[in-house]
Each structure stands twice: as structure tokens, then as C-alpha cells.
Amino acid sequence: MPISRFYKLYLSPNRKYVKVLKNLLGFVPGNLSLYRLAFRHKSVAQNVKKGVKNSNERLEFLGDAVLGSVVAEVLFKLYPYKDEGFLTELRSKIVSRVNLNQLGRKLGFENLIEYDSRILNSGRQGSLLGDAFEALVGAVYLDKGYEFTKSFLINHIIKSHIDIHTLEQTETNFKSKLIEWCQRHGKDICFELVGNQEGESNKLFTIQTTVDGEVLGLGKEFSKKNAEKLSAEKACEALGI
């Protein structure tokens, strides 16, 4: 074991945090402050300079991009005979907030993220875990580079925690998800045909989803069913469900 690693794990004042991260990540992190930042939600961040807060949001921006790129390559190679529409859809499922939140929960992020517990009640906690996961990917990338991050994601995350083939089969039914949510929260929901355009060979339908009188989604497709699906999906996204 190199001296610096030994020092970090057994002697440094941060050795406890280093061990926690090593257990989580499977490797000894280099720049600890990056990882601390990845787990700092904006609700507890302070203004640092020129209005930028030391929260995980910038790292989330970077990590989202790196994660998207790694997942794109994994799928590109895993499915050599599938077209880009299939690849795009499957990638969205993998990096969806729902999936990344679950992943963050499995990895025990609740104990690692610093956040103001009042946000739990405001309904804004929705993507806390998934956002932190993306920020963590950004931190690993800055700390260790692309190839390292790629093998970390493939070997430590995707292989152990993400069942790509099951996600491939799952068709997220946004319409029933939305209806259920509205029933649970006592809200009115309405799907309405608001547009109807003659295309060259097909008719294009526009469906609008309204929740409690507020338009939340708009879907345009060549079948009413698909337009409704898309519209419901957008409304789910708007509501963060």
C-alpha cells in the first residue's frame, strides 16, 4: 500500500470519512473536498464568491454529462443491432430521476447528504438522492478522470445495481402513474385533445394534460394513444413524480 493511501486511511484526521467513502466507492478517493461538495445540497450551501454557492449543483451538471456519455457507450456496445431511438429511450430510463433516486437510496446516500431537513416537508426532496448521485459522478471524474469513472460506473454501479435488461422491458405507464398520483393527492386530472393536424400521410394529434386546471403537459404524436402517453409523461416530469 502506498504511503499516501495508508496515511489517508489510518492516520489522517479525515480517516473516518475516507473509510466511509472507500466502502461506498470501492476506491480510496483523492481530493476529499470534491466528494464533500457532491454531498452538499443547496439547502445548506453558503454563498462563496460572486453569488455561487458551494452546493453540489455544478458537480451535478458535470456528472450528469459524464454519466450520460458512459451509459451511451455501454448501450451502444451492448445492443449492436438496436437503433438510436431504442438506445435513447433505454438511456433515459437508466438516468431517470426515479432510477437514480432508487440507486442513491440503495447506496445509503441518506446518511451522507448534508441538507436542511425542512426540505423534506416541502416536497422538494424529490430528486435529492439522484442529484447527489450525479454530483458524485462529477466528483469522481474530476478526481480520477474519464477512464477511471467509466470503469467505476460499469463495474461498481451498473453491474451491481442496475438491471438494464429489466429496464428494457419496463414500459413506464405515465398515464396510470399520473392518475394514481392525482387520486392520492385529491387533484382533478384531464386529458384533452387540443390539436389535430393533417400531415402528409398521417394525422397528428395534440393532447393536453391538465391537473387542477393547470396545463402541465402537451404531447404530439401520430396516434391519440401515444400523444396521451407523451403528454402524461411530461406532466409527471413537471410534477416530479
Active-site residue 116, yes or no? no
CB 162 within 8 A of CB 87: no
Interaction of residue 208 with a copy of itself, rule CB under 8 A: yes
The answer to whether the annotation marks 134 as part of a ligand binding site is yes
Selection from 191, 239, 182, 181 nearest residue 218 by Cα = 191
Q: Which stretch binds a copy of itself (CB under 8 A): 2-10, 105-113, 165-173, 215-223?
A: 215-223
Q: Which stretch binds a copy of itself (CB under 8 A): 112-120, 166-174, 175-183, 204-212?
A: 204-212
- Shortest distance, CB of residue 156 to a copy of itself, whole angstroms? 18
Active-site residue 64, yes or no? yes
Q: Which of 83, 89, 134, 237 is catalytic?
A: 134
CB 241 within 8 A of CB 181: yes
Phi-psi group of 109: left, alpha or beta (phi > 0 → left; psi -120 to 50 → alpha; rest → beta): alpha
Cell numbers placing 60:
451535478
The answer to whether the annotation marks 188 as part of a ligand binding site is no
Selection from 24, 21, 19 nearest residue 156 by Cα = 24
Q: CB nearer to a copy of itself: give 2 or 51.
A: 51
What binding mask, one character per residue, do residues 158-197 give for a copy of itself by CB under 8 A, x or -? ------------------------------------xxxx
Strand 47-49 versus strand 214-221 pairing type: unpaired
Cell numbers placing 107:
447506496
Interaction of residue 52 with a copy of itself, rule CB under 8 A: yes
* Residue 210 CB-density burial (10 A; 0-12 exposed, 13-18 middle, 19+ buried): middle
Interaction of residue 66 with a copy of itself, rule CB under 8 A: yes
CB 130 within 8 A of CB 157: no
Residues 135-154 within binding reach of a copy of itself (CB under 8 A)? 141, 145-147, 150
Sheet holding 203-211, edge to edge: 189-198, 203-211, 214-221
The binding site for Mg(2+) comprises 60, 131, 134
Where on the chain is the footprint of a copy of itself (CB under 8 A)?
A: 49-53, 57-58, 60-62, 64-66, 68-69, 71-73, 76, 80-84, 87-88, 141, 145-147, 150, 194-197, 204, 206, 208, 213-218, 220, 238
